[in-house]
Amino acid sequence: MNKELAKTYDPKGIEDRLYQKWLDKKYFHAEVDRSKKPFTIVMPPPNVTGQLHMGHALDNTMQDILIRYKRMQGYNALWQPGTDHAAIATEVKVTAKLREQGIDKEKIGREEFLKHAWAWKEEYGGKIINQLHKLGSSADWDRERFTMDEGCSKAVEEVFVRLYEKGYIYKGSRIINWCPVCQTSISDAEVEHEDQDGFFWHINYPIVGEEGKFVEIATTRPETLLGDTAVAVNPDDERYQHLIGKMLKLPLTDREIPVIGDFYVDKEFGTGCVKITPAHDPNDFEVGKRHNLEEINILNDDGTINEKGGKYAGMDRYDARKAMVEDLKDLGLLVKVVPHTHAVGTHDRCHTTVEPMIKQQWFVKMEEMAKPAVEAVKSGKLKFVPERFDKTYFHWLENIHDWCISRQLWWGHRIPAYYCDDCGEVVVRRGGAPDKCPKCGCTHFTQDEDTLDTWFSSALWPFSTLGWPDKTEDLDYFFPTDVLVTGYDIILFWVIRMVFSSLEQTGEVPFHHVLIHGLVRDSQGRKMSKSLGNGIDPLEVIDKYGADALRLTLMTGNAPGNDMRFYWDRVEASRNFANKVWNASRFIMMNLEKADVPAEMDLNDLTGADKWILSKVNHLAKEVTENLDKYELGIAVQKVYDFIWEEFCDWYIEMVKPRLYNDEDTTKAAALWTLKTVLSNALKLLHPYMPFITEEIYCTLRPEEESIMIASWPEYQESWNFAEDENAIETIKEAVRAIRNVRTGMNVPPSKKAKVFVVSEDEAVREIFENGKVFFATLGYASDVTVQVDKAGIGEDAVSAVIHKATIYMPFAELVDIEKEIERLKKEEERLTKELARSNGMLNNERFISKAPQAKIDEEKAKLTKYTEMMAQVKERLAQLAK
């Protein structure tokens, strides 16, 4: 072995170098190879505006573990990466940057704005990808895609045209969610509902022709009164049946509106009379359709009142609310104001309260496309891990509304709809505007100004990235993909849309499994957020402790679908584990340098300890493989961690040290072969989780191999199954633990050796201990070991420990120098006598009890209890020694 490991493990010194090696060697790259079975994952595309956060780090670590595992198993593994154009987020950032330069987006126009947006994308778009490199992500960067690249854009246009021709896409006036700050429509999935403190304003609407008579309504949004076109009551409500068909004077306006009967009204809620504003409430919109009511939009796009608002026109919605409430009070029409907490929809991007508004938009009909998506999970073609997320999926699909897909933005895929300048005919087509109008023959067209919802393009991601709509080799071979890894917060947004889009366009599910993970929270369990300032930058963790330590931390104790907390001391523990692996590997290699290790070993030449550890790593490979196949990533890594730290380092390496240090020992070669073999296999099992350290050690340990990345995954071998030897060593371990516990309980230092007697009537057990005597010197601090059938020759004063089918004895006098121990205990007795006197004195002192803070009194009581217990133990030991 020519190369050796550095003295100390320094992630900074190895990570960038190894990542570059992997890139140069093209290990991440996959091409169609029909002789191999494919395994595909598509990376949830991070926003082009994005910065790596803990959620990304977790999501990408999990994908990387699966892809590295499958690659080592011999699959043709493709991890398809890319970024999302993130329409709203990017437009906001570019607009803000232009504003800083004194440039008005509206003044420079669409074409010029898009030049700036593309320049911004070129400058910042690769940032998050470079950060994913730091994490060790082994995605096929040669295939990197972008939702607005030529191929993805072609797929978007194709899907839009197909759905339009099928009658699934239509343009119509419906209630949509409008963000007055971003000034665009947003989908239901982008609206977050948060409880806000508000009020119910009770207002009297005068009944026309009946002086002094009113209908009382209650509303949380008094400003929308300007758009009321009716008041509804339940037809079965005896209080109000006589009013149906009468007209009301709409306060603050010159309009009259009818009272209508509709079963939508809950008799028990509020006053039982509901104002109907079809242009500003989704439920009212439906009522309006049933009763053929006028739809009056009273808001401008920026959330101010429009020209239909009379004297309130031009006011911000909330200023108008205040002014109207004052005016209603002056008119004597404000009955009362009642505090009321209710859920308010806000835009998940800018947290502005959204306005339901009636607008001409493009929609996708969802009813028909939702059915196959429901069926895919019910039939088992698509499975959620864990299964409980089925419920979220079904609930959303079974209550789905038509999807508003148009956005009033410039950055994004422009809608391929063209309007004839002469007759207004709409033409939806691929490849740009038509040459002439099919209706009037005119040759001048204007394209629709709107762009498509970002989710429309990312819904096609699993197949658009592989070349669809063209029938490519990649698509035929790598699609459907195998697993999607994502957080539970994105099932509605994205997973469902990919499923129905894929089934509609390709007839296939986009992936077979959806592995759901939770959120990474801070150590107090709070969501990481900018406003709380509690976010932790993964790059800072990598810089301090290395990518492997971060990855191991994120996977330790990780269970599918569950949130996890981030603790810095856990990262430190992960780094300590890396140090342990590094130092153990250096120790092994230093010993391998000094001797010839056979490439092959006759298993009959192995000792019981060698067979034990070989059998252990063999079973470990089987279990870890089963766990990974079930996506139990946290359970798998815990087993590898425990095996390496405890079984391999703390037990086996300690067991073989006497053989390594003894050149006369004929089993030395067997020990070295076992050390090298077991370490190699353990590194392979650890590699998907900690790719850098395992690569550096493995390539130093086995210089004849290029990389652990392309080494074969360990498989269970029946010839390495040594149940008897496993049982024998576990028995010895139990005895060693018992000896250590006795010695610890008696404060015996490790330097003090003592005789050990093992007594058992079971011949098989005695044989185990005869063969295992060598371990007791190093592991059990024994000066000599005697194995016998009964207690003959063992003094009465011997200390004992019972294990399964045997008892261990150690002569008391050998463990403890009796004279010295009595002297030590007497000194301890004196010290405790003084402490007890002091403590009792304080607690019996009236002045101390009356004046000292309660915490100080409690502390003193706790000390008294502790000293009393310690004194009892000291007296008991002295009594034993006196015998």
Confidence at residue 1, expressed as pLDDT on a 0 to 100 scale: 44
Scored b (16 or more CB within 10 A) or e, 447-457 reads: ebebbbbbbbb
Q: How many CB atoms lie within 10 A of CB 540?
A: 10
> How far apart, in whole angstroms, are the C-alpha atoms of residue 278 and residue 720?
75
Contact of 295 with 288, CB cutoff 8 Å:
yes
List, in sequence order, the alpha helices (H) in 5-149. 11-25, 54-72, 87-100, 105-124, 127-135
Torsion of CA 90, 94, 97, 99, to 10 degrees: -120
Q: Which residues contact 81 (CB under 8 A, 6 or more apart)?
A: 43, 45, 129, 132, 137, 139, 140, 141, 143, 144, 145
Contact of 139 with 45, CB cutoff 8 Å:
no
- Could you tell me whether strands 383-385 and 184-186 are parallel, antiparallel, or unpaired per DSSP bridges? unpaired
Helix 547-555 with 127-135: angle, nearest 10 deg: 80
Quick one: 97 exposed, middle or buried, by C-beta within 10 A (0-12, 13-18, 19+)? Answer: middle
Confidence at residue 716, expressed as pLDDT on a 0 to 100 scale: 97
> How far apart, in whole angstroms, are the C-alpha atoms of residue 778 and residue 750?
10
Confidence at residue 353, expressed as pLDDT on a 0 to 100 scale: 85
Name the strands in the sheet holding 754-759, side by side, starting at the edge strand that comes first in the sequence.
782-788, 754-759, 806-810, 799-803
pTM: 0.84
DSSP state for residue 599 in the 8-state scheme: S
Confidence at residue 37, expressed as pLDDT on a 0 to 100 scale: 97
530 in a known ligand binding site? yes
> How far apart, in whole angstroms, are the C-alpha atoms of residue 309 and residue 228?
12
How many helical (H) and strand (E) elements, i.e. helices and strands, does the chain have? Answer: 29, 29
Contact of 685 with 621, CB cutoff 8 Å:
yes
Confidence at residue 125, expressed as pLDDT on a 0 to 100 scale: 82
Q: What is the helix, strand, coil percentage profile of the chain, to 5?
A: 50, 20, 35
Contact of 608 with 652, CB cutoff 8 Å:
no
DSSP state for residue 422 in the 8-state scheme: T
Scored b (16 or more CB within 10 A) or e, 692-707 reads: bbbbbbbbbbbeeeee
Q: Which residues contact 684 (CB under 8 A, 6 or more apart)?
A: 72, 694, 698, 708, 711, 712, 713, 714
List, in sequence order, the alpha helices (H) in 756-853. 763-771, 773-779, 812-815, 818-843, 846-851
Alpha carbon separation from 789 to 59, 257, 764 (Å, rounded): 59, 104, 11
Confidence at residue 751, expressed as pLDDT on a 0 to 100 scale: 85
Splitting the chain (883 residues) into consecutive groups of 10 residues, what average pLDDT does each group show? 81 95 97 97 91 91 98 98 91 90 92 94 88 96 96 97 97 86 79 84 93 91 93 91 92 93 88 92 90 92 90 92 94 90 80 85 94 97 94 90 90 96 94 93 93 95 97 97 91 88 98 94 86 87 96 92 91 97 97 88 94 97 98 97 96 92 90 97 98 98 96 97 91 89 84 90 90 83 88 82 87 80 86 93 91 90 90 84 73
